[in-house]
Amino acid sequence: MSEWTFFAEHRAEIFGATLDHLALVVVAMAFAILIGVPLGMFIVHRPALRAIALGIASIFQTIPSLALFGFLIPIPFIGGIGKRTAIVALILYALLPILRNTFVGLTTIDPAVLESAEAMGMTPAQILFRVRFPLAMAFILAGIRTATIITIGVATIAAAIGAGGLGTFIFRGVALVSDSLILAGAIPAALLALLADFLLGLLERRLRVS
């Protein structure tokens, strides 16, 4: 098959783009987790802020990804052409599943457990870190898993604003009407998503309690 010879000939390039792609995803996910998890913890006891935070995160998800990349370009500091803008957009996309799952995980804990924690004289901070957080861990990880898979997919579009990664092959393939080029971007992206799903799924099962 011609695809296979194409892949074999360009394996170094494909591998390099895969690493670029992975780097985009890892950096964006790291920031999304660092923002989403603490924010989810913060809104547990703050209903007004909760509506605002979840609302804003939902809005980002409804913006078509190509448009979001476009919107960010003219914004100073975070905008422009390249990786930085792409990472900002990816963070905004990944935020909702992480934030929502963190919040839901922390708030759907057996009321009897929370009641006895409070009655045994645990401080609010102890309840958050020693009871709510460990019990919500599997839930939070499920959110991270969903966000990672979304991010791997959306990151292919980041090539449109010059961020590199596997999307470069796809856009070039569309322009040149070359299936081989499209597949050279799409197959590694799909494999990355499957691999991430599998590994995070394993971790999630290990952390699940009861």
Partner 1 sequence: MNTKLPLSSKKIIEFREVSFHINDILPRVVISDVSFSVSEGETVVLLGRSGSGKTTLLRLINGILLPSKGEVLVQERSTRDWDPIRLRRGIGYVIQDAGLFPHFTVAENIALVPSLEKWDSGRTAARVEEMLRLVGLEPGKFADRRPRALSGGQRQRVGVARALAADAPILLMDEPFGALDPVTRAELQREFSGLARRLGRTIVFVTHDLREALLLASRIILLESGRVVASTSPEEFLNHEHPEVRAFTACLDLAPGAPE
Instruction: Tell whether residue 209 is a contact of partner 1 (CB under 8 A).
Output: yes
| Count of residues engaged in binding partner 1, rule: CB under 8 A | 18
108 contacts partner 1 (rule: CB under 8 A): no
Query: What DSSP letter does each residue of 101-112 carry, written as one string?
Result: HHHHHHH-S-HH
Among 5, 58, 108, 126, binds partner 1 (CB under 8 A): 126
Alpha carbon distance 101, 109 (integer Å): 13
Please report how close the Cβ of residue 132 comes to partner 1 at its closest, in angstroms: 11
Instruction: Determine the interface stretch with partner 1 among 131-139, 142-150, 161-169, 197-205 (rule: CB under 8 A).
Output: 131-139
Nearest Cα residue to 99 out of 147, 59, 133: 147
Between vectors from CA 146 to CA 46 and to CA 208, what angle results, nearest 5°? 75
* Interface characters, 78-107, with partner 1 (x: CB under 8 A): ------------------------------
Member of 27, 54, 63, 122 binding partner 1 (CB under 8 A): 122
129 binds partner 1 (CB under 8 A): no
- Contacting positions for partner 1 (CB under 8 A): 110, 112-113, 115-123, 126, 131, 134-135, 209-210
